[in-house]
Each structure stands twice: as C-alpha cells, then as structure tokens.
Structure 1
Amino acid sequence: MTKPTILTGDRTTGPLHLGHYAGSLRNRLLFQNSHEQFLLLADTQALTDNADTPNKVRDNVLEVALDYLAVGIDPEKTTICLQSHLPALAELSMLYLNFVTVARLERNPTIKDEIRARGFGRNIPAGFLCYPAAQAADITAFKATVVPVGEDQAPLIEQTNEIVRRINSAAGEPVLPEAKAVIPRSGRLPGVDGKAKMSKSGGNAIPLSAQPKAISAAVKSMFTDPNHLRIEDPGQVEGNIVFTYLDAFDEDRIEVADLKARYRQGGLGDSTIKRRLEDILQSLIEPIRTRRAELAQDPAYLLDVIRKGTEKARNRTEATRREVIEGLGLFKL
C-alpha cells in the first residue's frame, strides 16, 4: 500500500529547541516509519521577516539540519530538502495568488496574530502577507495529505484547502488533494520564563544543544506558584511551568499525577519537582547534543543529505507543477 504523504518543516532562523521537540520533532520520528515524509528547510519563508539579514537565514540551514539528524531523523526514511532550491514552489505560489484575495489573506487569524506580534502595522512585507499562498504551494507541491501544525497554525491549512478547491474547480477535476492538519497533544511549550511560547528570538528557550549548566540554570529559573512560599503550603499546578514541562517530557504519567496531588495538598517543595525535571531534560538532551557534535565534524555528509533530498523533492514538486498547469489548461509550447 502507498504510504500517505506528510509535509513538515522549520524556518531556518536558528537552532531548534525543546519547544520544537515537544511540538513536532518527536512526532516526526514516528511519522517517518508510517508516512512518506518530506522535511522542508524553510529558508525562503524565513526571509519573509528576515530579508535584512539573509546571512542569518543561510547560516542556520545547516544548524537546523544538524538538529534533525541529531534527534534521530533518518534520511533514508525522511526526505530533507531546501525550500529555496525547489523552483516549482515559487511558481505555484505566484499561480495560487490569483486564487485568493488580499482581504482573505488579511483575515487569516494566524497572519493577523503574527502581524500584531511583530508590530508591522501597515508596513507588512508582501511576502509575509502572502505566506498562506506560499504554504499552500509547499503542501500541494508534495501532494501532502497530512500536515502537523500547532493549533494556531490550523487556519493556514484551512486556507490551503480553500485554494485547492478553487484550483480543482477551475481545472474541472481533482488535480490536488486536500490536506488534514494534525495538531500535537502537548500543544506549544511555553518559554522558561512562563510569559510566552518558547522561541528562538524570545530568549526563553532551551536549545537541543544546550550544555548541562545551561539546562540546570533554565530549570532553576522556571516560574512555579508565587503563593507557594513554604513547602507545607498548598500549591497551584495550573500555570506552573515546571508541571507543564513534566507533562510534556516525563514518561511516568502515574508519578506526575501523584506529584500534582501532593503539590496541591502541600508538603512538596519546588526544588523537588525542579530536580526531577532537570534530570529528565539532562537525560533527553545529552545524547542529542553528543550526536550533534559528531555530525558537525562531517559537513560533507550533511550537505550530501540535503542535496540528495532536495533533488528528490525537486522531481516531485516539478511533476505537480506540470499537472497544475495542464489541469488549468494554460497555453502549451
């Protein structure tokens, strides 16, 4: 049987962190065994709000690829490819812009939130505003039917499917499949400061390459319950970042439930739950950090993985571009 196709990826704006691991990477490790998985190094998308620092985008292509391989992504099972070297994506993006209005792009909840967060006002980069069409091109070029996204990104998949339906209607046949958004159970991991999502630019992330001292310092600084002043005081679990992380990374669900009950009753100190979390994170990150350092010593291998994956992806996406052009009945030379 043919495996369903899945497309996922990351902007190349910096090394990946625990938020990426909880939200997508560990699911990708499972998906690569059950799906035909394409993993996009989204350098073109990264330029939509980093056009003034293209070197930042360029330099982080290898950093993100290193993180992929270090966590266990297998290039024999998952195709790792570079977005800017897939010309069919840009051509399909331009084509799809004819099937969506500016008003619809501006109404997309994800884009509205991101515009507000970045303080663009009306100085919105055109590439950023048109990102939903570009993402639709990414997804459909691979004919992906499964796209793992955070809950806040689900409106982008909805808009992709709107474009797909318009293309298919214009073609008079189902040229492109619709895609299903798969939202991870854990959701977005908050930053260690507890004030926002974990992000590369927010300074509140734990990188997958973090050293032991940095992990320890990050856990010790985590927000818990400001009213839990003494060990015997009842504590609040909801909004307690340490418990949020334990929910995301502690495999012993029974023990976590017991810790929550004891914390609520009083008699369990913050230092106890922080020590448990630190031990878990140290054990998780240590082999990733070690493998990453080993891979960094062989840049030729890393480039070979990206080149081979991009060549395979180029053939796939070019075939889809031709099908869309032919389906729409555009002029042939």
Structure 2
Amino acid sequence: MSAVRMLTGDRPTGRLHLGHYVGSIANRVRLHQRYESFFIIADLHMLTTRNTREDIDRVSHNAREMVTDILAAGVDPARATFYLQSAIPEVGDLNTLFQNLVTVPRLERVPSLKDMARAAGKDEMPYGLLGYPVLQAADILCVKGQVVPVGKDNAPHVEVTREIARRFNHLYGEVFPVPEMIASETPTLVGTDGQSKMSKSLGNAISLSDDAETVRRAVMGMYTDPNRVRADVPGMVEGNPVFTYHDVFNPDRAQVADLKERYRAGRVGDVEVKEKLAVALNRFLDPIRERRARFEADRGMVDQLIVDGTERTRAEVRRTLVEVRRAMGLTGAYQQVRRRAERARRATAAPA
C-alpha cells in the first residue's frame, strides 16, 4: 500500500440531502482526488436501527440511489471504490476480534449512540447499536484507512477506532495505521423546521436530487424568526435557518450581507429572503442534477461500479485478516492442533 487511503460512507437509507453534503460529501469531493478512496455502503450499520425485511429489501435500490448522489455531487467514479458492506463477511470476523479490545463503559460514553436509539424509537439500546463504533473500526481498519472525513456526530466513533488500532498494535505488533480525522467545515446543518439537524425521517430535508419546484416549496415553508410577525419588525439573523442556508449555499456574499442588514432593520420580508435562498439553492443543485441525469441514463453503470468495488475491497480485507490472525497467533494455534491430529492419525495408521 503506497497511496494514503481514505474510508468514508453512509447507510443505504435513501437519497442523500443537503445535510449529508455539508457534513461529509463536500469533504469527500475535495479529498478523493488526493487519497485512494473507499466508499462503504454500510448496510450492516443500517440494521442497528432499521432491520425489518422491508428495510433489507430496499438496500439494493437505496445503494444505487446513494452512490448516484455521491457521483452527482462530484466524486469521480474512476477514483473511488464503492463496496457493499454485507457482501464482505470477513469484516464480521474482524469486528469479532475487535470487540475484545474495548469495554462496554467506553462504548456507553459515545454520545451519539443514545441519540440514534432515540431517533429510531428504541426504548433500550440494541447490542448491535452499542457496538456500532466497533464495527465502524472494522470498516476503517479492514482496508487500513488512514484518513476519515467526519461530521460532528461521527467524530467520537472514529476516536474509538483510533483507540482500537493503538490497542491492537500494542498487544500484537504494528498492523494498523491510527487513522486521522478530517472535520467538515459545517459539521451539522439544521433542518428546514429549525428544530433539529436535517433528516429524511423527520421530513425536514432537502434532497440533492429534488427538482427546482420541490426545493422552492421546502424553502418557502422554512422556519424563521417566530417573533417577526411583519416585514417591518426587526428580525434575528443569528440562529435563523434561512440565513444559515444563505451562509452555506449562497455564493453572492454581497447579497447575503444586504439581506442580513435589512432583516435586522425590518426593511425586508421573509418572502424575499426565502425566494433569494431558493434561487441560490437551485443554482447550487443544478450541476448535481445534470450529473445525476447522466449517470441514471447509463444503465447498469452504478451497479457495476458497486460490484467491481466490492470484489476489490474483499480481496483487500482478506489480506488484512490474514495479517491480523497471524499477528494474534490465531493461525498458529490451529496449525498446532492440525499437526498433532496428523501425527496421531499417522501413528494409528502405521503397521505394528
């Protein structure tokens, strides 16, 4: 392995949205030209909160949609390896070995796990969800990932990966790199309701694949300053989701500054501010929509990309697992048993 490797990805729960873009995809687009890039379609992670047969039946479709969104956002398919997590059973073997290198109290201190359980309507923490960061460590280290783009919520997970890599190397010898985290510039994007981060399940998301009219409707219905009952009432810009989106997606900084000044002075209405945001968002999304249409028109291209990437990744993971088992002495243990059994068989079969 010569080039520095990056590992990142998402659970295949549907199309990606603007929150995904600012939280991770923008970083991936920027970084994948610099690093050898692996993109995981994390369907085993999906099972920690969505594990009905209907959820699983949608994985194939959702995987294709998700990969298409990532490509449409600007990732070059020639410089990215996409793979389906559940198609590589060796990752589960590595996960089993890593489970012994971290304690339950340590996992219980990962703050986002309880939030994930609560968002999924779980009254109690599933075992698989508690072990989410351990499986994520297996995902990252199975290809010896050296850099991981992360949003705010995922940083504590990757810190567990770093601890597991250090612990393994201390016990068994230097096998794994300790991956570095690359934080996104905008780690969390509030949803259109202004109440929580953007999420498909909460219905407060704008998808990367939404058409122009869908985006406009979502923007016009956005939460804004609740105390502003008329356009001539001075409004709050700080914490106002509409202006948060302007700051992230509107490249016309002079226009944004003018809107903020007039909003604070009560000289502009919410409708104008939102209409200009809708225009800015659609200009941002137009190239993504165009690229998506091209990838969708190339029938079978995305599926083949996933197949090729999965086969390549599985070969990498198999090599890693052999190295891990050799470092731990597990391969030697079985060989000793096999040699003893062979000697006993020969002794029994030898003529008197």
Q: Deviations over 1:67-107 (max 9, x none)?
A: 12222211211111111122221111111011122232222
Partner of 1:305: 305
- 1:48 matched residue in structure 2: 48
CA distance in 1 between counterparts of 2:75 and 2:199 reads 22
Question: Quick check: 227-236 or 61-70, which moved more?
Answer: 227-236
- Counterparts of 2:257 and 2:6, CA distance in 1: 34
Contiguous gaps of at least 5 residues in structure 2: 336-352
Mapped contact 1:46–1:57 kept (Cα < 8 A)? no
1:178-257 equivalences in 2 (<5 Å): 178-257=178-257
Q: 1:72 and 1:220 mapped to 2: Cα distance?
A: 28
Task: Give the Å deviation of 1:294.
Answer: 3.4
| Cα distance in structure 2, aligned partners of 1:127 and 1:45 | 8
Question: In the alignment, which residue of structure 2 is the partner of 1:13?
Answer: 13
Q: Identify the residue that residue 126 of structure 2 maps to in structure 1.
A: 125
AA aligned opposite 1:198: M
Query: Could you give the per-residue CA deviations for residues 132-170 of structure 1, whole angstroms, max 9, x where no partner exists?
Result: 110000111121121111112211111111111211111
CA shift for structure 1 position 255? 3.7
Please say if residues 50 and 57 of structure 1, whose CA atoms lie closer than 8 Å, have aligned partners that are also in contact: no
Q: TM-score scaled by structure 1?
A: 0.93
In structure 2, the partner of 1:107 is 109
Cα RMSD (Å): 1.8
CA shift, 1:225, in A, is: 1.0
1:138 aligns with 2:146: no
Which secondary structure state, in structure 2, belongs to the residue aligned with residue 152 of structure 1?
coil
Q: 1:268 offset after TM fit, Å?
A: 2.2
How far does the alpha carbon of each residue in 1:178-203 deviate from its partner, in whole angstroms, 9 at most, with x for none? Answer: 11222211121111111111112111
Q: Secondary structure at the match of 1:151?
A: coil
Deviation at 1:29, TM superposition (A): 1.1
| Displacement of 1:290 | 3.4
Q: Is the 8 A contact 1:5 1:145 kept in 2?
A: yes
CA distance in 2, matches of 1:29, 1:66: 13
Once residues 193 and 116 of structure 2 are traced to their aligned partners in structure 1, the CA distance between those partners, rounded to angstroms, is 20
Correspondence for 1:30: 30
Which moved further from structure 2: 35-44 or 258-267? 258-267
Per-residue CA deviations over 1:236-288 (Å, capped at 9, x if unaligned) read 01121110111111223344234323322331221222122111111122332
Q: Percent identity?
A: 45
- Residue 12 and residue 271 in structure 1: after superposition, are their counterparts in 2 closer, same or farther (change >3 A)? same
CA contact (8 A) 2:250 2:281 kept: no
| Aligned twin of 2:94 | 92
Provide the rounded CA distance (Å) in 1 between the counterparts of 2:257 and 2:194: 21
| SS of structure 2 residue aligned to 1:305 | helix
Q: Secondary structure at the match of 1:168?
A: helix
Distance 1:304 1:57 in 2: 16
**Which of the pair has more CA radius of gyration?**
2
Give runs of aligned pairs for residues 61-72 of structure 1, distance below 5 A: 61-72=63-74
Secondary structure of the residue aligned to 2:331 is coil
Distance in 2, matches of 1:265 and 1:320, equals: 61
Q: Is the CA contact (8 Å cut-off) linking 1:47 and 1:57 kept in structure 2?
A: no
Gaps of 5+ in 1: none
Q: Which residue of 2 aligns with 1:317?
A: 317
| Partners of 2:49 and 2:120 within 8 A in 1 | no
Q: Distance in 2 between matches of 1:299 and 1:130?
A: 37
CA displacement at 1:34 relative to structure 2: 1.1
Given the superposition, is the C-alpha separation of residues 298 and 156 from structure 1 closer, same or farther in structure 2, using an over 3 Å criterion?
Answer: same
- How far apart, CA to CA, are the structure 2 residues paired with 1:286 and 1:306? 25
